[in-house]
Every structure is written in C-alpha cells, then in structure tokens.
C-alpha cells in the first residue's frame, strides 16, 4: 500500500525568491538607524552579515549549512565577549541590541519556510522598538511608523499571497492607522502617567553631549568650540534679550595652580528657592522687576549635575530639588542622563553681598611664578586706589596691546600668564579670563573665573534660543564694595563681536569649519530653523509630557480629580465607535462573495492560490487537478457559485444558495484535512 501524500501545512510552506528579498530589505531598513548609536566595529559586523545574506540571495545560491551558521554565531559571541572584556566586564545596552540584531540576521540565513519568516518579522518589530532606547527624535517616530507599516504589509503578503494584486494593501493600512489614531491620542493624553520609568536599562558608558568639564586650562574650551551640537534650548518669558545679556552660568572656578582652574573643594550651600514647575505653557505673570527674567531651559544629557541659569540665578523648578551654592551655582540631585526641562528665574547683574573671610582667601590666592604679571599688577595697585580703575586698566591692556582672539594659539611657557601677556598675545576666552583674574588678584582685587555659555541663536520659528557647544565661554567676576560680584568679560575688550554677535562673527570660517553649516543663508537657514523648532516642540509636548502636565491639562479643562471617570467614559465611547465600521461593512458585504473569498483563501493555504485574472471555472479546474482528493467539493462549490453569479435568473432564494455553498465549504475543509 502506498502512503497518502499530505499537503504540508501553511507554516512550512517554502518561501519564494521574492519573499526572501523582501525579508532582507525589511531587516536592512530596520537596522539602518542603529548606526547612530552602535560602535563602528559592531555596525561593520552587522553590515558584513547582512551583505553576506544579500549576496546569497542575489546569486540564488543555496543557504549556508547549519555548521557554517553555528561557526558564524560563535564568531559573533567571541566578538561580543571581547567587547565586554574591553569595557571592563560591562554588558551595555548597545551590545545587547547588537547581539539581537546579529542573531536575527543569522536566523535569516536559515529561513526557508513561512514559520521562520514569521519569527524574523516579529523580531524585526522588537529591533524597531530598540531604536527608541537611545533617544526619541521626531524624525525617528515618522521613520519607525513608515517601516512598521512596511513590515505589516510584508507580513500580510507572507501569510496571504493570494491578496497580491487583488487587495489595495496601503489604503487598508492607512484606514487601520486612522482607526487607531483616536485611541493612541486618547491614551497618550489621559492615561495615568508615571513619575519614573518602570525599569532602567544598562548603559555601556555614561555619555553626555554638553562637554563642559569642571576644570579649565588653556585649550579646554577651544576644543569644545569645534562642535555645533546643541547644549540646551531656552525660551525666555517676555521680550527677546540682546546677545550681550545672554550669559548662561554653570559653575565658578576658584583654585588656580598655574595651569588649571578648579572649583572650590567644598562649595558652601544656601537655602534653595523653588519655582512652580509650569513648563507646559507660557501663561505666567511677568517679571517682578525689569532686571528679573523667567525662562524655560531644555537641557540635553550631560552626565553632570550642574544646571545652567541665566546670569545670576534666583531659583529653579522646585521639582528638581536642586541645591544652590553661595556662588549662585545650581546642582541637580542626580547626574542628568536624559533631556531635562526646568524653569528658572534670574536677575541680570550682581547684587550687593558681603564677602566672607573664606571667600577673600580664595579670591586672592595665587600660585608661585609669573613675576612680570605680578609686577604690572602691583604697579596698578599703587597707581589706582579704586579697584574699578584697576579693572579698567586691565581691559585697556587687552584692547591696546596686539592681542588676538584665535582658536590656534601658540604654546605657552612655564609661567603661562607671563607668556600669554608679554609674548604670544594670542588666545581664546580661557586665556583672557585666566590672565585677567590673575592680574586682579595680584592687584588686590578679589576675582574668580566663571564657566558656562555666552550667547545663543534665536530661532524665530520656535521663539527660543539655541545654545550650542560652540557657545561655551569663560568670563570673570570681581568683587567691589557696595556692588558685590560684578561680571567682567575681558574677551569683549579683544573681540567685542564675540559678545555682541556670537562666535561666528569673531572667528573666520577657516578656524571653525564645523560651524560652516550655521552660516547657510536664505532658505537653508529657514529650513534649519523650522526643523529645530519642530524638534523643540516634539521634545516639549511629547517626550516630556508627564503627570504634572497632564494634571495642568485636566485642570484647564475643568476635570480635576475626574481622571478615572473620563478614562472609562472615553474608552467606552471609543469602543462603541469601533463597532460602527463593522456594522456598516456587514450591511454592504455580499454574503455569497464573502463565501467565495473564504473558498479561495482555503485553497491558497494548501498551495493553490487564485490568480488575479483567473475566472471561477478555470480556478476550480486547476484546483481540482492540484488537489484531487478535494475535487468533488471544489466542483460542487464552483457549480453553485457560478450558477448563482453568472447563470440565468431562477426562483431559488439567496438563503438556499448560501446554505449549499456553506455545505460545500465544510466538505472541502474536511477533504483537505485528510
């Protein structure tokens, strides 16, 4: 007796050449944005694996054997182990993503049937979600939505090849997206927000974008100037401020060893004042005085704890639980590892305050060396009894002597201040701030260095300032009786355009090639502002939408304390709305045609898909030949359908025809299962 041949189930259906190419292209599009965050070596490894699979597909070569795939998997594991060892035994987030991507590609190497293709497609969705673990720019949301739709389209074609050419897939996916959009918006706005994430994923290494360190020496800020990346964005309540007023304070440097400036070893703290965390709207009262300003800052991750405030900060958002030093430095309770938005209030200009004994010692301390600078400062001290006159003398020195503002100064000698003031005369802001504070201390005027940012481009589209790393700056503060700490920027004496119009106006394009894109005129500049404004809006209203913003939104809508009621009522309304398309479709669908579609789909699952232009008779004959055990049921169903659809009008009712078609369909299903 010969065994009966069974048609393989749908899950083991072999894939066609076009379907293999579809999976390769799908995975390439999913992995492409990962190059932003993965190490270059890991990205090259993934590219090589994917290129290997593509070459096999293009040449129609057979897939690798299981031993060969196993060797490739061991090689991937060995490379991952080497990277873990190199990083000190830390299995970071990027390496976990890379391992998942590599093994998905290796799975694609052995994909032959529909079940394997289904697994690769499902894992593609997981890889798509990993794109959001590093950051969430607005363009990534658009990209992932487009690629997600492409994966859904491929999934539909894999499981239902008969719909190719017979179903408008993209309009169908568009209708599905429109159907789900109200649910997504409703749940995003009203679903209860959490104060903290449910879990935190491991990082490979702490990475920040701001770049300012807590020490300063010649060349440290000059290196940072080369980067056009955004440090933070700020929108000021009220009128636009001139660039000369935009001094964004970070921290104060007191201690100088002849080369490097450092903060005080133990900064003294004072009581912090908190502001209401109103970051969702700008409907705040105006400043209390002309010199007091309120603003919102959206700070990029820095992996540092200090916060940036405009000039002399008074208070920041109370939700930060920030600490404040007596030097008006603001520190967050933890290093900033994600975009942070907070409100600040500052006064432009210093306020009279006493100088403690400890501050006097720090503000006049000097290391050994630099005799020529000491001699010049002593001359000023004896010539000008008023400390402010000594400040003006130093500024006149910088303005009159052949000093130059440049990013490529000569190397300084052992006595760096003497070498800069009397020999090289060329330097950047840290050179001028450092030498100025040295001269003031040597002349008996308490002085210190302040590091932060100066200036910022005003975006007319988003109505906010964009402060980049290239705006990093150092300036000085001197203490004057009756006035307190007064800001003095010696860079302004050498390069006034740096303070008044920004770094771009003070340096040539050959010195800062990284900033060439910022000089783009006309429509390119407008386009850049539009993209930046869109990014800022996305970050402000989507990424940083939290429980406080949700509470304010409910308060403005008069729904305070009614969130559970609104949530349940809204979900009920959306559920009823979801039934409307089904009801409308039920009214308009031809039941006979629906049964024929089920008939075609059942045969397609067993390897006999109907062509788009194939008539019922021809398709029935081909199906009967391909599936002889189901020939009676196929012929019966086809005869009933053709007689009703194309035959002469009869007295039989539609319900009778539907009954016969359903009986034939059940018989067909039983025949195919034998």
Is 464 among the catalytic positions?
Answer: no
CA distances from 399 to 15, 375, 395, 425 (A): 77, 20, 6, 11
597 burial type by CB count under 10 A (0-12 exposed, 13-18 middle, 19+ buried): middle
**Sheet harboring 247-253: ordered strands across?**
309-310, 247-253, 447-454, 472-480, 484-488
Distance from C-alpha of 59 to C-alpha of 378, rounded to nearest angstrom: 83
Distance from C-alpha of 329 to C-alpha of 252, rounded to nearest angstrom: 7
Say whether 459 sits in a helix, a strand or coil. Answer: strand
CB under 8 Å to 377, separation ≥6 — which residues? 390, 438, 439, 440, 441, 442, 443
Is 473 among the catalytic positions?
Answer: yes
Say whether 65 sits in a helix, a strand or coil. Answer: coil
Distance from C-alpha of 101 to C-alpha of 85, rounded to nearest angstrom: 20
How many other C-beta atoms can be found within 10 angstroms of the C-beta atom of residue 397? 18
Q: Residue 493: CA atoms inside 13 Å, Cβ hemisphere, count?
A: 23
CA distances from 572 to 185, 569, 579 (A): 15, 5, 11
CA 267 to mean position of chain CA atoms: 34
Distance from C-alpha of 354 to C-alpha of 528, rounded to nearest angstrom: 47
433 burial type by CB count under 10 A (0-12 exposed, 13-18 middle, 19+ buried): buried
What angle separates helix 522-538 from helix 138-159, to the nearest 10 degrees? 80
Q: Which two tokens stand for residue 227?
A: 């980067």
Distance from C-alpha of 670 to C-alpha of 113, rounded to nearest angstrom: 25
Is 425 among the catalytic positions?
Answer: no
Distance from C-alpha of 345 to C-alpha of 295, rounded to nearest angstrom: 7
Query: Kind of pairing, strands 312-317 and 274-275?
Result: parallel
Say whether 2 sits in a helix, a strand or coil. Answer: coil
In the chain, the N- to C-terminal Cα span, in Å, equals 17
Catalytic residue among 328, 418, 489, 504: 489
Distance from C-alpha of 42 to C-alpha of 139, rounded to nearest angstrom: 24
- Residue 502 contacts residue 479 (beta carbons within 8 Å): no
Catalytic residue among 20, 293, 473, 640: 473
How many other C-beta atoms can be found within 10 angstroms of the C-beta atom of residue 157? 17
Q: Which residue has the tokens 């501050």?
A: 359
Which stretches within 316-465 are classed as H helix?
357-364, 371-383, 387-400, 416-419, 429-442
Catalytic residue among 277, 311, 425, 429: 429
- Residue 300 contacts residue 232 (beta carbons within 8 Å): yes
Distance from C-alpha of 615 to C-alpha of 250, rounded to nearest angstrom: 76
- For residue 644, which of 660, 632, 633 has the smallest C-alpha distance? 660
Task: Compute and round to an integer the Cα radius of gyration of the chain.
Answer: 35
- For residue 455, which of 489, 487, 499 has the smallest C-alpha distance? 499
The set of catalytic residues is 429, 473, 489
């Amino acid at each position: 007796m010969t065994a009966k041949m069974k048609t393989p189930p749908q899950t083991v259906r072999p894939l066609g050449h076009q379907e293999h190419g579809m999976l390769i292209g799908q995975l390439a599009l999913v992995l492409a944005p990962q190059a932003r965050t993965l190490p270059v070596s890991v990205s090259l490894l993934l590219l090589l694996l994917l290129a290997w699979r593509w070459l096999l597909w293009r040449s129609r070569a057979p897939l690798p054997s299981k031993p060969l795939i196993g060797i490739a998997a061991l090689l991937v594991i060995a490379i991952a182990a080497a990277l873990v060892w190199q990083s000190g035994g830390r299995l970071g987030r990027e390496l976990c993503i890379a391992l998942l991507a590599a093994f998905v590609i290796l799975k694609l190497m052995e994909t032959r049937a529909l079940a394997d293709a289904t697994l690769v497609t499902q894992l593609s969705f997981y890889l798509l979600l990993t794109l959001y673990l590093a950051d969430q720019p607005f363009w990534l949301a658009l990209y992932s939505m487009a690629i997600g739709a492409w994966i859904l389209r491929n999934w539909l074609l894999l499981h239902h090849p008969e719909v190719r050419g017979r179903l408008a897939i993209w309009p169908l996916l568009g209708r599905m997206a429109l159907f789900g959009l109200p649910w997504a918006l409703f749940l995003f706005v009203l679903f209860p927000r959490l104060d903290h994430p449910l879990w935190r994923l491991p990082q490979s290494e702490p990475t920040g974008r701001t770049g300012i360190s807590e020490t300063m020496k010649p060349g440290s800020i000059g290196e940072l100037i080369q980067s056009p990346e955004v440090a933070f964005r700020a929108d000021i309540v009220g009128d636009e401020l001139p660039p000369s007023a935009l001094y964004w304070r970070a921290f104060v440097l007191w201690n100088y060893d002849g080369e490097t400036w450092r903060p005080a070893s133990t900064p003294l703290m004072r009581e912090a004042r908190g502001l209401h965390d109103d970051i969702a709207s700008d409907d705040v009262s105006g400043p209390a005085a002309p010199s007091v300003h309120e603003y919102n800052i959206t700070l990029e991750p820095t992996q540092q704890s200090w916060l940036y405030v405009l000039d002399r900060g008074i208070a920041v958002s109370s939700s930060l639980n920030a600490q404040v030093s007596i030097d008006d430095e603001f520190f967050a309770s933890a290093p900033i590892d994600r975009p942070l938005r907070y409100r600040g209030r500052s006064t432009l200009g210093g306020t009279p305050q006493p100088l403690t004994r400890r501050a006097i010692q720090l503000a006049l301390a000097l290391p050994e060396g630099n005799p020529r600078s000491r001699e010049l400062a002593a001359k000023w001290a004896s010539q000008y009894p008023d400390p402010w006159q000594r400040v003006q003398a130093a500024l006149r020195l910088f303005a009159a002597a052949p000093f130059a503002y440049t990013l490529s100064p000569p190397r300084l000698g052992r006595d760096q201040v003497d070498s800069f003031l009397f020999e090289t005369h060329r330097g950047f802001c840290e050179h001028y701030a450092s030498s100025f504070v040295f001269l003031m201390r040597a002349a008996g005027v308490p002085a210190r260095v302040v590091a932060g940012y100066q200036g910022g481009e005003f975006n007319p589209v988003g109505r906010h300032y964009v402060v980049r790393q290239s705006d990093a700056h150092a300036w000085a503060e001197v203490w004057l009786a009756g006035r307190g700490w007064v800001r003095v920027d010696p860079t302004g004496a050498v390069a006034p355009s740096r303070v008044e119009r920004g770094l771009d106006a003070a340096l040539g394009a050959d010195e800062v090639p990284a900033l060439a894109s910022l000089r783009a005129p006309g429509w390119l500049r407008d386009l850049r502002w539009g993209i930046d404004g869109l990014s800022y809006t996305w970050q402000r209203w989507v990424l940083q939408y939290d429980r406080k913003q949700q509470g304010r939104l409910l308060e403005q809508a008069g729904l305070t304390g009614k969130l559970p009621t609104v949530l349940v009522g809204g979900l009920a309304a959306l559920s009823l709305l979801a039934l409307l398309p089904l009801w409308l479709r039920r009214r308009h669908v031809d039941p006979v045609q629906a049964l024929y579609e089920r008939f075609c789909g059942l045969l397609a699952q067993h390897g006999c898909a109907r062509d788009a232009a194939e008539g019922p008779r021809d398709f029935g004959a081909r199906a009967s030949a391909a599936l002889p055990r189901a020939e009676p049921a196929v012929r019966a169903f086809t005869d009933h359908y053709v007689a009703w659809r194309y035959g002469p009008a009869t007295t039989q009712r539609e319900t009778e025809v539907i009954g016969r078609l359903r009986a034939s369909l059940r018989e067909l299903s039983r025949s195919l299962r034998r």
